[in-house]
Structure 1
Amino acid sequence: MSSATSERAALQRVVDDRDQVAYTPGPLDRDATFYVAGHRGLVGSAIWRKLESEGFTNLVGRSSSELDLLDRDATFRVIDVMKPRYLVLAAAKVGGILANSTYPVDFLSDNLRIQGNVLDAALAHGVERVLFLGSSCIYPKYAEQPIIEDALLTGHLEPTNDAYAIAKIAGILQIQAVRRQYGLPWISAMPTNLYGPNDNFSPTGSHVLPALIRRYDEAVQAGRDTVTNWGTGNPRREFLHSDDMADACLHLLEHYDGPQQVNVGTGSDVTIREIADTIAEVVGFEGTTEWDTTKPDGTPQKLLDVSKLAAAGWTSKIGLQEGLERTVAWYREHVLDLRR
């Protein structure tokens, strides 16, 4: 039997075995097997910490050296062995403006393959509850602010990260397709800009906030009195601590069931210039900040409407100042390992 035929047979068993009684969200079984794909990254590690703190006793994860999610056959085999009841897909190829602009093929192809492999394997093995995590970059560049979930596919994407966005949009549609075709209660969540422990602090591949933390901290350590940032500093961004995001994800798994993606954020934003000033203050930088306006700004504003999440009973708890202080402390504790 070919691999494709075997997959179709497995999917048919999902249909045949599926209990057609309507699914009602509620507390997850703390003893059930729960697979967190991407459990060592910024997002996945925060979800892992949250689940541990909430008493989940059978968490499973695989590092990239143990399981290459780009390998379809290996992904199917491992999920078959795990037999998870719940799954959060936090694994992805991620990066900032520079990385996305330089390697669009990688960001499109790798993310499509990771998502397809994990979600198809989860479907073939009848995983009951899946949460797919995307990004606020799925929305049009000039979407009306704050951005509602219905803005999806209503306009042109930001060209500096359109390849990544298209991959994430495909993931949302795959979740919706599974719901329509197989009746499984899978859901999607779209976090705003995240930061926190285990973030990518690379000078070439990171997002704006960890890049700023590293830049200002290195200036302090080196005794430099000037820091230069990309762009004008005028774009507005919303930032959510990863521990808040993880709390929201578990809340959605236990309280939400619907085909539409749910925005996850704070509902407020700041300019890049303001966040740079705050980071400078937290790390103790007392010099001058300059702005290289020959570099791109990206999307002018990206603020999520979080009323759908609020209606489900969740709001952000970690303020930006507190979150930055915690993140800078974590970075300084791990900086030597991060530079290796």
Structure 2
Amino acid sequence: MDKRAKIYIAGHAGMAGSALLRRLTAAGYDNVVTRTHAELDLTQQAAVDAFFASAQPEIVFLAAGKVGGIKANNNFRADFIYQNLMIEANVIHSAWKHGVQRLLFLGSSCIYPRDCPQPIHEDYLLTGPLEQTNEPYALAKIMGVKLCENYYRQYGARFISVMPSNLYGPNDNYDLENCHVLPALICKAHEAKAKGASELIVWGSGKPRREFLFVEDMADACLHLMNSDVSSGLYNVGMGDDLPISELTELVMEVVGYDGKIVYDRNQPDGTPRKLLNIERLKSLGWSAKTQLREGIALTYKDFLSRRNHR
């Protein structure tokens, strides 16, 4: 990407978008355009089209969307499918209409079938049923992938899709009603430590395996891809290894400094049994993650404490 190019980050205030903004700034890209949700509602087609007509960005990183953990996904199913569909359709269509040179759509590994072979290759998309607890969100993200694919096939638009494994890191959401598993565990372990509680309650059985990617590594992978020669396609981004939730819980407790007993609430859902991504397609382009899980959790806990102290 040309350092002088005008870049729009949709969703710059979120965890992924803010990491992209930090990475681009560090790399010397200083012509970056952002809009808060109050300034631009991406679910409104006319507003999005007017923004693209006025701002005329040349590069787009589409990191905006409604996101949440297993509870939020299951409770607000209509909101998750509607809002994500509208955001993707509006941004991708306006990007094509107004001549954007390159676009990167940020999705999620939940787009893949619930019980597909591991590690999950990009070609496994749409080969089986989805996990029911987050099916609406997954379907919306699949449509984002297909929008990029078909705007390339019909119009030659250089739009690519990136599917990261479970993201975590600075600027994460620590609200237990809506957050993902790793920030939820950090929050629970911290509260248990502060209260002197003897037990830490964890949803599910602790058996599902998950792969976690530090958000700064995700941002680095996105910049690497946008500076490559690829014009289209779907790319998994991950660490290349995973661990059970039980081991993740122990690791979080170690970082936080809490040594209570883990109690698993088996009345709560486990979600997909395993989600380990095949990352060979991206590795073949010369990229791999740098941040190991324990280091990333420590940095995330530091961010959590900073946010708590400034409330």
**TM-score, structure 2 normalization:** 0.98
Spell out, residue by residue over 1:8-52, the C-alpha distance to the aligned partner (whole angstroms, 9 max, x if none).
xxxxxxxxxxxxxxxxxxxx1112110000001010000000000
1:110 maps to 2:110: no
Shift of 1:121: 1.1
8 Å CA contact 1:239–1:269 kept in 2: the answer is: yes
Q: Which residue of 1 aligns with 2:233?
A: 260
Q: Following superposition of structure 1 onto structure 2, how do residues 215-294 of structure 1 map, counting pairs within 5 Å?
A: 215-294=188-267
1:85 maps to 2:58: yes
1:161 and 1:235 map into 2 onto residues whose CA distance is 15
* SS of corresponding position for 1:316: coil
Shift of 1:256: 4.4
Spell out, residue by residue over 1:78-131, the C-alpha distance to the aligned partner (whole angstroms, 9 max, x if none).
122211110000000001110111111110011000111111111110100000
1:258 and 1:152 map into 2 onto residues whose CA distance is 19
CA 1:218 to 1:173, structure 2 compared with 1: closer, same or farther past 3 Å? same
8 Å CA contact 1:239–1:320 kept in 2: the answer is: yes
RMSD: 0.9
2:155 and 2:282 map into 1 onto residues whose CA distance is 25
1:39 and 1:269 map into 2 onto residues whose CA distance is 28
1:157 maps to 2:130: yes
1:150 and 1:116 map into 2 onto residues whose CA distance is 23
What percentage of aligned pairs have identical amino acids? 47
The one of 67, 73, 76 equivalent to 2:46 is 73
Q: Following superposition of structure 1 onto structure 2, how do residues 293-308 of structure 1 map, counting pairs within 5 Å?
A: 293-308=266-281
Q: Which residue of 1 aligns with 2:93?
A: 120
* SS of corresponding position for 2:149: helix
**Structure 1 unmatched ranges of 5 or more:** 1-27
The one of 142, 148, 154 equivalent to 1:175 is 148
Q: Which residue of 1 aligns with 2:17?
A: 44
* SS of corresponding position for 1:189: strand
Q: Which residue of 1 aligns with 2:35?
A: 62
2:7 and 2:286 map into 1 onto residues whose CA distance is 23
8 Å CA contact 1:256–1:312 kept in 2: the answer is: no
1:293 and 1:266 map into 2 onto residues whose CA distance is 28
8 Å CA contact 1:149–1:260 kept in 2: the answer is: no
* SS of corresponding position for 1:56: coil
1:322 maps to 2:289: no
Letter in 1 for 2:239: T
Q: Which residue of 2 aligns with 1:134?
A: 107
Shift of 1:260: 2.5
Q: Which residue of 1 aligns with 2:159?
A: 186
Segments ≥4 residues shifted beyond 4 Å: none
* SS of corresponding position for 1:186: strand
1:66 and 1:203 map into 2 onto residues whose CA distance is 27
Q: How many residue pairs align between the two structures?
A: 311
The one of 210, 217, 220 equivalent to 2:183 is 210
Shift of 1:258: 4.4
**Structure 2 unmatched ranges of 5 or more:** none
Moved more, 216-225 or 106-115: 216-225
1:35 maps to 2:12: no
Letter in 2 for 1:226: E
1:119 and 1:239 map into 2 onto residues whose CA distance is 27
Q: Which residue of 2 aligns with 1:6?
A: none
Letter in 1 for 2:153: R
8 Å CA contact 1:267–1:303 kept in 2: the answer is: yes
Structure with the greater alpha carbon radius of gyration: 1
1:106 and 1:307 map into 2 onto residues whose CA distance is 34
* SS of corresponding position for 1:156: coil
